[in-house]
């Protein structure tokens, strides 16, 4: 029987940071992968909504779009990165690599 981790396309890493959603909602994150991240959110979002995400990384930020894959009321949402360009993909890869080295 497959576990959820075995079915994931990308390995998840702990990532505790405040992520900005749609330029106004600051949400704490708990983990990240090359494909997306999970954020705690009290605000209501619909599955498949597209949101703007700003992720802090070192002294910079990574700005990209993500699709709400699932939303658990009062808990948070799983976001899947969407339409990444080469620069954004490289920034996410750099962020993941810096987390992997430190864990």
Query: What is the C-alpha to C-alpha distance for residues 55 and 60, in angstroms, rounded to an integer?
Result: 9
Q: Domain range holding 41?
A: 8-102
pLDDT attached to residue 73: 87
Given this model, what pLDDT does residue 21 score? 95
**C-beta neighbour count of 56 within 10 angstroms:** 14
User: Span 5-18, mean pLDDT?
Assistant: 82
pLDDT of the residue at 103: 64
- Range with the poorest average pLDDT among 4-8, 20-24, 51-55, 96-100: 4-8
Q: What pLDDT score was predicted for residue 13?
A: 95
The residues near 50 (Cβ < 8 Å, ≥ 6 apart) are 65, 66, 67, 68, 82
Please indicate, yes or no, if residue 32 is contained in any of the structural domains.
yes
For residue 48, tell me if it sits in a domain: yes
Count of structural domains, the chain:
1
Q: Which of 38, 34, 39 is nearest to 11 (CA)?
A: 34
Assess if residue 2 is contained within a domain. no
Would 3 be classed as within a structural domain?
A: no
């Amino acid at each position: 029987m497959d576990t959820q981790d075995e079915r994931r396309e990308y390995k998840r890493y702990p990532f505790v940071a405040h992520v900005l959603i749609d330029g106004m909602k600051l949400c704490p994150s708990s983990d990240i992968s090359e494909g997306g991240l999970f954020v705690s959110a009290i605000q209501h979002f619909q599955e498949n909504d597209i949101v703007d995400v700003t992720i802090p990384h070192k002294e910079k930020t990574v700005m990209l779009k993500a699709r709400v894959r699932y939303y658990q009321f009062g808990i948070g949402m799983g976001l899947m990165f969407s339409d990444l360009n080469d620069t954004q993909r490289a920034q996410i890869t750099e962020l993941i690599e810096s987390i992997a080295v430190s864990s």
